[in-house]
Amino acid sequence: MLRAKATTTSRALLPARHQLLKRLRTNRTLRTSAVRLNGGGAPFDPKAIERAEDEVDVCIVGGGPAGLSAAIRLKQLEREKGNEIRVVVLEKGSEIGSHVLSGAVIEPRALDELLPEWRSMADHPLTQPATSSKMLFLTKNMSLPIPHPPQMGNKGNYIVSLSQFTRWLAQVAENEYGVEIYPGFAGAQLLLSDTADATDNWGRRVRSVRGVVTNEVGLTKEFRMKGSFEPGMAFRAKVTLLAEGAHGSLAKQAIQHYDLRREAEPQTYAIGLKEVWRVDPSQYKAGTVQHFLGWPLDSQTYGGGWVYHMDDGLVSLGLVVALDYKNPYMSPYRELQKMKHHPFFRALLEGGERVGYGARALTEGGYQSLPKLAFPGGALLGCSAGVVNIAKIKGTHNAMKSGMLAAESAWEAVQKKNAEAAEAEAEEGAEEKPTDMTGYDTAFHNSWVRDDLYEVRNLRPSFGTQLGIWGGIIYSGIDSLLLKGRVPWTFKHHRPANAADAMTDGTSSLDSSLTERAEKHTPIEYPPFEPPLSTDLMTSVALTGTNHAEDQPVHLRVVKTRDFVRATQGLNGDGATVNAAVGAGVGAVRAEAEVGAATEADVEEERRRREEHVRVNVGEYAGLLERACPAGVYEYVDVEGEGSSEGTWNGKKLVINSQNCIHCKLCDIKVPTQDITWTVPEGSGGPKYTVT
Amino acid sequence: MRPSPARLLNILVPVKRAVDYSVKIRVNPQQTGIDTNVKHSMNPFDEIAVEEAIRMRERLPPGTVKHIKAISIGPPKALDVLRTALAVGADSAAHVALPENAPAPEPLAIAKTLASYINIQNSDPAKVEKDGKVDVVILGKQAIDDDLGVTGQMLAGLLGWGQATFASKVEVDVGKNEVVVTREIDGGAEEVRCRLPVVITTDLRLNEPRYASLPNIMKAKKKPVEKLSPSDLGIDYTPQLTTLRVTEPPKRVGGGKVGSVEELVERLKDAGITGV
């Protein structure tokens, strides 16, 4: 059911002041504002646009394993119980699977529950069973077999490209179950209720989540509307499920708004950089699973490599580096290229051809870092909550199961809502109560997902002591082999030496606060590239197929998430201004100031923020982002002459090449000043992974 | 009183599902073609063609353009591309379905298919009554995955119609029953005047395609898509060309650095390059 603009029912719900503003601005519609084809016309005014709206029962943000499992489960319940339910999945990638990257060896436990008949389904991608599982310790020249935790055993597991797996799951969801999937449309904002109509987990009165608004298209970098401008569409949903993967952008906002991490440990992360190679047939042994510790990482850095021999002569390999690394001179990309120079990898990749490259952040916090999973009107699924089991190095099974559990709660909530609506027909104009998903949180903690994560909860923190990886290996060996997590203690994640530096405010990452100043470290001499074995960064980035339409607002906003949420939800001051351009650069905020959506003080604040960012990052951390980003997005360049208006410090300014972005989220997590907020670009942008 | 237009336009827009422009194309291991396990989307030149058809509808007096139909010949997934065309503004679509793993159809077969489709449309009195005969076929100048660039020209030849290729500007004069097309040629632009019916192929500068908005994509799901099989049109898709081998171009060999102008001249002489 499609409506072109707000109907009388929902107009009545708007508070009087908002309605007045809407009337005042009615002559400022899209058609009357001067819009030119090139160079953009009128600045974007968030309050004057009219959005197309649609109503759905459940809106799922993110077409990955968790989101799709939830969608399928909802439709299964529709079949079982007979009540219709409309399920919409929004995916920012140009097609399902474009933004999915993982090792991956998956445990089919959740798939067996979701689709018990999967083995007989056509084209299922679980064609390569894992036949072995080995762990090796690398030194500069040698590789020594070592024992591995029993959780890493791979009996019954399959090596897949998670991108292909997700694509298959989407095809099942669409064709067999009638789920509506819309790739190329990103969930850009949470649609909040107008009044504080719900009580959150902590007893506060808060606004509830009523759906999702997709991204605007057709804005220039300076936030002006092009001829092709289309406002994002608003999906009003009874239940909103956020399944965006690790460090999701809407999930981050929900966590901040509802303080979901109040009683949990902060989340900790790692970056996974991956390549897919077609190796020489003499090197290929289908089903091989190998994990590596040691070289090239030092004893204070948690991480390791992997090699999985997938189906069809392809080999997946890569390096995971925990993002609590201390040395700002480290470059995860250069570490991966260096790792390939080891004799083991040289032999493996001799005569091979690289067919893929990519990177993505993953969660490592495990059980301790699970936030509250439900908020009024919605819930967090999969790695948006953080469900990777770092001992198994697997999380897909947990993500899928969490999706299924959320679906079951969502089903109940929607049925309840429908029943209430039928009763309350007589009450004209009353806004419906928000849905309550706390049943999902309980179900999650009663399920095997909780047990899966509980067993290994102390392993990762054990690597955070002064003993570095040696302490971790010793403790983890004992815990995983003998105790299996059956101990009365639960370690917290390690904090920086100076406790005051620890960032635990719910949106700033703990990992960033563990970075040490550049003066304590020395630059690392990485070996030169040896193409085709190891190449420079841009050659690799070309393999991701990433691209973003030119001349759109920079989606990497230089602003703290807390401030971003306040500015864009109109929560500053009297709530009248909504500065949609916050963090997008001085030019963009200036455009917003032209339409009264921002003030001159905001423009100055924007410039000051940039300057501060450059001062700390270049002055104290030697420009960490330049080295850390796996796609070469960030550069601190010298400024000629006077200095630009954009905020320079000591002759340097920040340049963001957002077109290269591969949506890995490392910058948001690792930047020491915690002032990069990753937001969604125009839909369909980003990498085009197919075999990762 | 405005006289009614002499002719109402019925526009056919053939579109191809081709490898996406941002994907790095690679030769497949068997060296028989390119790796097609990658993202596909509508050929960018065909997007421009669809956009031009819609702009014709917007530029000419309302009602002049009677019908815009998108057609695609390809595997079942080509339906996605047709849905995009419908979402951007086409009225209906037709899909000539080829089997999933059939070899890619050749331009002559495509041109024959389109000609056959058009002839069937134009000779069916019911269809002519409803939408008129097909007047304008507008398609991309070439597909970006094979860069052959011959389908439009072959189609015009088979139909006996005029053709205006590499169009960077299209002006339709329905009253005079002709189009004036500015073509991109080596060294500049050329204007040609063609009588209708005509085949036009689009070049990059013709327009900038619009986004398909989400509400339109949802509405497009309800628009009709005609399904046809090769036997309906009497076309044989057996390839007439045999591809012997596909290889990547030879890798660039590194150059060398020279220390002085004299050394440069020496090297040039050694390479057999002489002054004029």
Q: What is the structure's pLDDT at A506?
A: 64
CB burial of residue A459 (10 Å; 0-12, 13-18, 19+): buried
**Over 70: is that where the pLDDT of B2 sits?**
no
Write phi, then psi, for A305 (nearest 5 degrees): -105, 175
**How many Å apart are CA A500 and CA A510, to the nearest integer?**
12
- A38 or A589: which leads in pLDDT: A589
CATH for B9-251, options being 3.40.50.620, 3.40.50.300, 3.30.1490.20, 3.30.300.180: 3.40.50.620
**Over 90: is that where the pLDDT of B44 sits?**
yes
Q: What is the structure's pLDDT at A404?
A: 97
As a dihedral over the C-alpha atoms of residue A581, residue A586, residue A587, residue A591, rounded to 10 degrees, the angle is 50
Region A334-339: mean pLDDT is: 96
**Over 60: is that where the pLDDT of A144 sits?**
yes
Q: What is the structure's pLDDT at A319?
A: 96
CB burial of residue A581 (10 Å; 0-12, 13-18, 19+): buried
**Which residue shows structure tokens 């007439």?**
B240
A80-135 per-position pLDDT tens digit:
999 999 999 999 999 999 999 999 999 999 999 999 999 999 889 999 999 989 99
- A150 or A233: which leads in pLDDT: A233
Q: What is the structure's pLDDT at B231?
A: 87
Q: How many helices (H) and strands (E) does chain B have?
A: 8, 11
Kindly state the tokens that stand for B256.
Answer: 């060398």
Region A184-198: mean pLDDT is: 90
Q: Provide the H-helix boundaries in B124-174.
A: 125-131, 151-159
- When CB atoms are compared, the residue of A182, A233, A688 closest to B20 is A688
Write phi, then psi, for B170 (nearest 5 degrees): -130, 125
- SS3 assignment, position A205: strand
Region A587-597: mean pLDDT is: 85
- SS3 assignment, position A257: helix
Q: DSSP string of A391-437?
A: TTTB-HHHHHHHHHHHHHHHHHHHHHHHHHHHHGGGSTTPPPPPP--
Q: What is the structure's pLDDT at A599?
A: 85
Q: What is the structure's pLDDT at A467?
A: 84
Q: What is the structure's pLDDT at B256?
A: 77
Among A480, A473, A323, A472, which residue's Cα sits nearest to residue A391?
A480
Q: A35: which chain B residues are within 8 Å (Cβ-Cβ)?
A: none
Angle at CA of residue A657, ends A656 and A663, nearest 5°: 95
H-helix or E-strand containing B123? helix B107-123
Kindly state the tokens that stand for B108.
Answer: 């002559």
Region A231-238: mean pLDDT is: 93
Above pLDDT 70, what percent of chain B? 98
**Which residue shows structure tokens 């815009």?**
B68
CB burial of residue A640 (10 Å; 0-12, 13-18, 19+): exposed
Lowest mean pLDDT among A113-117, A377-381, A424-428: A424-428
Q: What is the structure's pLDDT at A431?
A: 59
A279-302 per-position pLDDT tens digit:
999 999 999 999 999 999 998 899
Above pLDDT 90, what percent of chain B? 60
Region B117-137: mean pLDDT is: 89
Residue pair A579/A568 in contact (Cβ under 8 Å)? The answer is yes
Q: What is the structure's pLDDT at B182?
A: 96
**Over 60: is that where the pLDDT of A32 sits?**
no
Q: What is the structure's pLDDT at A8?
A: 38
Q: What is the structure's pLDDT at A41?
A: 81
Cβ separation B219–A2 shorter than 8 A: yes
pLDDT category at B150 given cuts 50, 70, 90 is: very high
Region B247-276: mean pLDDT is: 84
Region B54-83: mean pLDDT is: 93
**How many Å apart are CA B92 and CA B219, to the nearest integer?**
12
Q: A37: which chain B residues are within 8 Å (Cβ-Cβ)?
A: 208
Q: Does B252 touch chain A (CB under 8 A)?
A: no
Residue pair A125/A160 in contact (Cβ under 8 Å)? The answer is yes
Q: What is the structure's pLDDT at A464?
A: 84
Q: What is the structure's pLDDT at A36?
A: 40
Write phi, then psi, for B195 (nearest 5 degrees): -80, 150
Q: What is the structure's pLDDT at B17?
A: 95
Q: What is the structure's pLDDT at A425?
A: 62
Above pLDDT 90, what percent of chain A? 65
**Which residue shows structure tokens 């793993």?**
B101
Q: B219: which chain A residues are within 8 Å (Cβ-Cβ)?
A: 2
Output the average pLDDT for chain A: 88
User: Structure pTM?
Assistant: 0.89
Q: Other C-beta atoms within 10 Å of A293: how many?
A: 19
pLDDT category at A2 given cuts 50, 70, 90 is: very low
Region B141-150: mean pLDDT is: 92
Q: Which of A142-151, A496-505, A653-662 ranks highest by mean pLDDT?
A: A653-662
Q: What is the structure's pLDDT at B220?
A: 92
Q: What is the structure's pLDDT at B32?
A: 87
Lowest mean pLDDT among A493-497, A673-677, B122-126, B238-242: A493-497
Exposure b/e, A376-397, CB count within 10 A at least 16 = b: bbbbbbbbbbbbbbbbbbbbbb
CA of A189 vs chain B CAs: smallest distance (Å): 16
Cβ separation A545–B24 shorter than 8 A: yes
CA of B214 vs chain A CAs: smallest distance (Å): 7
DSSP A151: G
Active-site residue, selected from the candidate residues A360, A460, A590, A610: A360
Q: What is the structure's pLDDT at A540?
A: 95
Q: B20: which chain A residues are within 8 Å (Cβ-Cβ)?
A: 94, 545, 688
A292-332 per-position pLDDT tens digit:
999 999 988 999 999 999 999 999 999 999 999 999 999 99
Q: What is the structure's pLDDT at A684?
A: 87
Cβ separation A542–B22 shorter than 8 A: no
A contact test, residue of B19, B20, B22, B81 with most A CBs within 10 A: B22
pLDDT category at A30 given cuts 50, 70, 90 is: very low
Residue pair A282/A420 in contact (Cβ under 8 Å)? The answer is no
Q: Other C-beta atoms within 10 Å of A166: how many?
A: 27
B163-201 per-position pLDDT tens digit:
999 999 999 998 889 999 999 999 999 999 999 999 999
Lowest mean pLDDT among A18-22, A180-184, A556-560, A602-606: A18-22
The DSSP bridge partners found for residue A209 are A192
Q: What is the structure's pLDDT at A1?
A: 40
Q: What is the structure's pLDDT at A400?
A: 97
- A590 among known catalytic residues: no
**Over 80: is that where the pLDDT of A31 sits?**
no
As a dihedral over the C-alpha atoms of residue A320, residue A324, residue A325, residue A328, rounded to 10 degrees, the angle is 120
**How many Å apart are CA A165 and CA A105, to the nearest integer?**
11
Q: What is the structure's pLDDT at A644?
A: 59
CA of B187 vs chain A CAs: smallest distance (Å): 26
**Over 80: is that where the pLDDT of B273 sits?**
yes
A contact test, residue of B30, B31, B39, B145 with most A CBs within 10 A: B39
Q: Does B29 touch chain A (CB under 8 A)?
A: yes
- A360 among known catalytic residues: yes
- When CB atoms are compared, the residue of A52, A180, A545 closest to B215 is A52
Residues A511-514: contacts with CB within 8 Å, 24+ apart? A511/A268, A511/A269, A511/A322, A511/A323, A511/A324, A511/A669, A511/A670, A512/A323, A512/A669, A512/A670, A512/A671, A512/A672, A512/A674, A513/A672, A514/A324, A514/A325, A514/A326
Q: B37: which chain A residues are within 8 Å (Cβ-Cβ)?
A: 690-691
Angle at CA of residue A682, ends A680 and A685, nearest 5°: 90
Cβ-Cβ pairs closer than 8 A, A with B, add up to 54
Among A516, A517, A540, A514, which residue's Cα sits nearest to residue A529?
A540
Q: What is the structure's pLDDT at B48?
A: 96
Q: Does A500 touch chain B (CB under 8 A)?
A: no
Active-site residue, selected from the candidate residues A629, A648, A658, A679: A629
Q: What is the structure's pLDDT at A642?
A: 62
Q: Does A311 touch chain B (CB under 8 A)?
A: no
- When CB atoms are compared, the residue of A2, A542, A546 closest to B215 is A2
- A629 among known catalytic residues: yes
- When CB atoms are compared, the residue of B23, B210, B215 closest to A233 is B215
pLDDT category at A380 given cuts 50, 70, 90 is: very high
Output the average pLDDT for chain B: 90
Q: What is the structure's pLDDT at A689?
A: 94
pLDDT category at A575 given cuts 50, 70, 90 is: low
Region A28-41: mean pLDDT is: 43
Among A170, A66, A93, which residue's Cα sits nearest to residue A544?
A93
Cβ separation A688–B23 shorter than 8 A: yes
Q: What is the structure's pLDDT at A370?
A: 96
B contact test, residue of A230, A535, A682 with most B CBs within 10 A: A230
Which A residues in the span 181-220 are in contact with B, Cβ-Cβ below 8 Å?
A: 182, 185, 214, 217-218
ipTM above 0.90, yes or no: no
Cβ separation B208–A688 shorter than 8 A: no
Q: What is the structure's pLDDT at A427?
A: 57
**Over 50: is that where the pLDDT of A12 sits?**
no
**How many Å apart are CA A503 and CA A259, to the nearest integer?**
15
Region B35-41: mean pLDDT is: 87
Q: What is the structure's pLDDT at A571?
A: 53
**Which residue shows structure tokens 């398909």?**
B212
A601's CB contacts (< 8 A; 6+ apart) are none
**Over 50: is that where the pLDDT of A27 sits?**
no
Among A592, A601, A591, A549, which residue's Cα sits nearest to residue A568?
A592
- A664 among known catalytic residues: yes
**How many Å apart are CA A223 and CA A218, to the nearest integer?**
9
**Over 70: is that where the pLDDT of A509 sits?**
yes
**Over 50: is that where the pLDDT of A38 sits?**
no
Q: What is the structure's pLDDT at A494?
A: 86
Q: What is the structure's pLDDT at B253?
A: 79
